[in-house]
């Protein structure tokens, strides 16, 4: 069942002292299987809604946090920042490989497969240094900010120098990513990834040597020395069951459990992975991970494309989240994952841009529904509200920022305003603004972005990095 939205505000009148939003009346819609929920004017927090808006809202911000939410306000208070359009909580990109941004367009020149695409990706990975990685990630994260993303989950596995020798600072590459997110003005969960072999019974070789630590204990020692920051948290990842031997998986999952950190892993993205896992262990990847403590509410399976009914029961019954990345799954011809069935089984949805061939969480959100329509020839698997929640509070929860992704007192002041006067959103009815955002808007319609109370995008321009296209071009040219 799709639950309530974490807060949607239509533009018109209103304002935000130190950052906030606006308009004129409170209106809710009934939930799919639930009762109508209303909120009284002047209450501290937005009503829980499925497909609706709240008008006349002032969001009060102090120290990067929302300290007050008032609605039923006729005009912006003096000194308020007026956000014109539909204002949402900040979006969370739960799965990113920043350096893949350098591949955009280049991997479309031949037919190929996932595995030929991977060879091209390794060529870029081989050229990265801490400085070039920082420059590329800074530009890629700025592109994300322009798309309304205020938090990214970076699935990071390029740890060492070419050949596998550690840098003098063993986490130089991860620290470059944390610094890049700060420079772009967004938050990051660095998902430090354990990657120990090149496949079932295959050693690391060539560019893969940069990914590997001696064993999972060596990975854990290095990862433990990573330091978070106000904008950064550290989580763990098992790259995949093909990249981490069965006996090492429990070390990584235990590391995450002990720290209350998120744990992510690629799961059943390719049929070949399932076949290899069954041949090596007699179990599916999901069953193998479950046997080593890697499933649970702290964990997120990325892709989860080719699952058995038993796998779905394992993921849903354990509360393991699922991160869908439709634009990458299309690009790599992975297949269409059973997102609706997983959600109904108890697996919360989050969304990711993955290879960054496209950076647009609205496209990822509608892709979940539209791809299922193609697979089933039926409409209406997801309400727009449920998809938007996956892009906001669901994504933040998957990245360990449970307090974020909602417009409410105590939450980080993350606000994203989508214009209502583009050719894509013009004429949107007030009773279908959420549907317009999810099924029609694109990243190009984002006009304002506030992260932790700091205005980082204004009128579609990044305020911290300036010319983002130029920064991307320079960074990519250094690597290709």
Are 68 and 16 spatial neighbours (Cβ–Cβ below 8 Å)?
no
Catalytic residue among 160, 264, 303, 381: 303
Identify whether 306 is a catalytic site residue: no
Largest CA distance in the chain: 68
Alpha-helical (H) ranges within 231-300 are 246-259, 271-281, 285-291
Tokens of 189: 């969960």
Tokens of 248: 């090492």
Q: Is the pLDDT of residue 60 over 70?
A: yes
Among 187, 195, 260, 191, which Cα is nearest to 229's? 187
Q: Is 181 helix (H, G, I), strand (E, B) or coil?
A: helix
Tokens of 354: 């993955």
The CB density around residue 227, as the number of other CB atoms within 10 Å, is: 11
Catalytic residue among 192, 331, 334, 354: 354
How far is Cα 413 from Cα 404, in angstroms, rounded to an integer? 8
Per-residue confidence (pLDDT) for residue 61, from 0 to 100 = 95
Identify whether 462 is a catalytic site residue: no
How far is Cα 472 from Cα 468, in angstroms, rounded to an integer? 6
When pLDDT is cut at 50, 70 and 90, the band that residue 7 belongs to is low
More confidently predicted of 435 and 5? 435
Are 150 and 451 spatial neighbours (Cβ–Cβ below 8 Å)?
yes
pLDDT in tens, 74-89: 888 898 999 999 999 9
pTM of the predicted model, to two decimals? 0.91
Q: Is 429 helix (H, G, I), strand (E, B) or coil?
A: coil
pLDDT in tens, 121-153: 999 999 999 999 999 999 999 999 999 999 999
pLDDT in tens, 39-59: 333 445 554 333 357 888 899
pLDDT in tens, 273-312: 999 999 999 999 999 999 999 999 999 999 999 999 999 9
**Residue 252 parent element (H or E):** helix 246-259
Question: How far is CA 149 from each of CA 91, 166, 312, 445, rounded to the nearest angstrom?
Answer: 4, 32, 29, 13
Tokens of 197: 């072999």
């Amino acid at each position: 069942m799709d639950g309530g939205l974490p807060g949607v505000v239509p533009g018109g009148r209103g304002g935000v002292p130190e950052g906030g939003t606006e308009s004129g009346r409170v209106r809710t819609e009934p939930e799919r299987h639930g009762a109508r929920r209303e909120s009284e004017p002047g209450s501290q927090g937005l009503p829980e809604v499925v497909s609706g808006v709240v008008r006349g809202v002032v969001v009060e911000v102090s120290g990067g946090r929302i300290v007050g939410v008032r609605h039923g306000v006729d005009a912006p208070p003096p000194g308020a920042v007026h956000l014109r359009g539909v204002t949402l909580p900040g979006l969370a990109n739960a799965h990113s490989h920043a350096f893949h941004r350098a591949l955009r367009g280049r991997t479309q020149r031949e037919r190929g497969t996932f595995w030929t695409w991977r060879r091209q990706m390794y060529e870029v990975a081989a050229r990265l240094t801490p400085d070039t990685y920082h420059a590329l990630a800074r530009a890629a994260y700025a592109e994300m900010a322009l798309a309304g993303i205020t938090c990214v989950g970076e699935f990071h596995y390029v740890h060492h120098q070419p050949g596998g020798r550690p840098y003098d600072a063993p986490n130089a590459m991860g620290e470059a990513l944390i610094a890049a997110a700060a420079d772009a003005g967004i938050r990051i969960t660095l998902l430090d990834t354990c990657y120990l072999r090149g496949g079932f019974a295959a050693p690391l070789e060539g560019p893969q040597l940069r990914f590997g630590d001696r064993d999972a204990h060596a990975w854990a020692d290095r990862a433990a020395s990573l330091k978070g920051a106000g904008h950064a948290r550290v989580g763990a990842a098992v790259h995949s069951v093909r990249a981490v031997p069965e006996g090492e998986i429990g070390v990584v999952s235990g590391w995450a459990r002990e720290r209350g950190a998120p744990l992510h892993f690629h799961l059943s993205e390719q049929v070949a992975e399932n076949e290899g896992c069954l041949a090596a262990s007699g179990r599916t990847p999901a069953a193998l991970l479950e046997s080593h403590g890697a499933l649970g509410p702290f964990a997120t399976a990325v892709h989860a494309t080719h699952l058995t009914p038993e796998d779905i029961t394992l993921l849903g019954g354990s509360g393991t989240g699922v991160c869908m990345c439709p634009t990458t799954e299309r690009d790599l011809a992975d297949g269409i994952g059973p997102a609706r069935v997983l959600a109904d089984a108890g697996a919360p949805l989050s969304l990711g841009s993955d290879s960054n061939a496209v950076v647009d969480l609205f496209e990822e959100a509608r892709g979940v529904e539209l791809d299922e329509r193609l697979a089933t020839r039926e409409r209406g698997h997801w309400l727009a509200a449920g998809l938007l929640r996956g892009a906001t509070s669901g994504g933040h929860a998957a990245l360990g920022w449970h307090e974020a992704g909602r417009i409410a007192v105590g939450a980080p002041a993350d606000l994203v305003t989508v214009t209502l006067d583009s050719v894509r959103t013009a004429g949107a009815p007030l009773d279908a603004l959420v549907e317009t955002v999810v099924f029609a808007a694109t990243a190009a319609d984002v006009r304002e972005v506030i992260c932790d109370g700091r205005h980082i995008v204004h009128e579609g321009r990044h305020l911290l990095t300036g010319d983002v296209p130029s920064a991307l071009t320079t960074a990519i040219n250094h690597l290709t």
